[in-house]
């Protein structure tokens, strides 16, 4: 993600810089150079998936980076927010979205 675009999303604060550093490091490790057969690569691409992306590596690095960079949110962070997009009905909380009390900020869980 280009830094100037990111500034518009999270601002230029120290927290914004730490978030940017976290995302950049996580994205860089998620991209792998796995050796795939032509058929495996075509199958993944036909489903709209990047054949060189490893989600488990990305998530592990993301978890480590948010803690190291001090941008980890505890569950209490969501207490004053309203759940507006709920995936619990599908058995997961991944991608749940919460609206902040100010009505202008949205938080998406991973």
At 7, the pLDDT band (50, 70, 90 cuts) reads low
β-pairing, 82-85 vs 97-99, is: antiparallel
- Domain boundaries, given as residue ranges, for the chain: 1-72, 73-110
Mean pLDDT of the chain: 76
**Could you report the per-residue pLDDT of 44-78, keeping only the tens digit for each?**
888 877 777 777 777 788 888 888 888 877 777 77
Residue 36 falls in which region: left (phi positive, over 0), alpha (psi -120 to 50) or beta: beta
* Residue 76 or 100, more confident: 100
Predicted TM-score of the model (pTM): 0.50
Q: Where does residue 101 rank: exposed (0-12), middle (13-18), buried (19+ CB within 10 A)?
A: exposed
Q: 110 and 62 in contact (C-beta within 8 Å)?
A: yes
* Residue 50 or 87, more confident: 50
Percent above pLDDT 70 for the chain: 75
Q: Give φ, ψ of 83 to 5 degrees.
A: -70, 120
């Amino acid at each position: 993600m280009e830094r100037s675009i990111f500034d518009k999303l999270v601002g230029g604060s120290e927290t914004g810089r730490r978030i940017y550093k976290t995302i950049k490091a996580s994205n860089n490790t998620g991209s792998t150079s796995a050796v795939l057969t032509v058929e495996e690569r075509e199958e993944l691409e036909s489903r709209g998936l990047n054949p060189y992306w490893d989600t488990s590596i990305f998530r592990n690095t993301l978890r480590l980076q948010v803690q190291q960079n001090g941008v980890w949110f505890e569950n209490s962070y969501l207490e004053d927010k309203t759940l507006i997009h709920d995936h619990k009905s599908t058995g997961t909380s991944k991608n749940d979205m919460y609206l902040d009390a100010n009505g202008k900020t949205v938080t998406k869980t991973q």
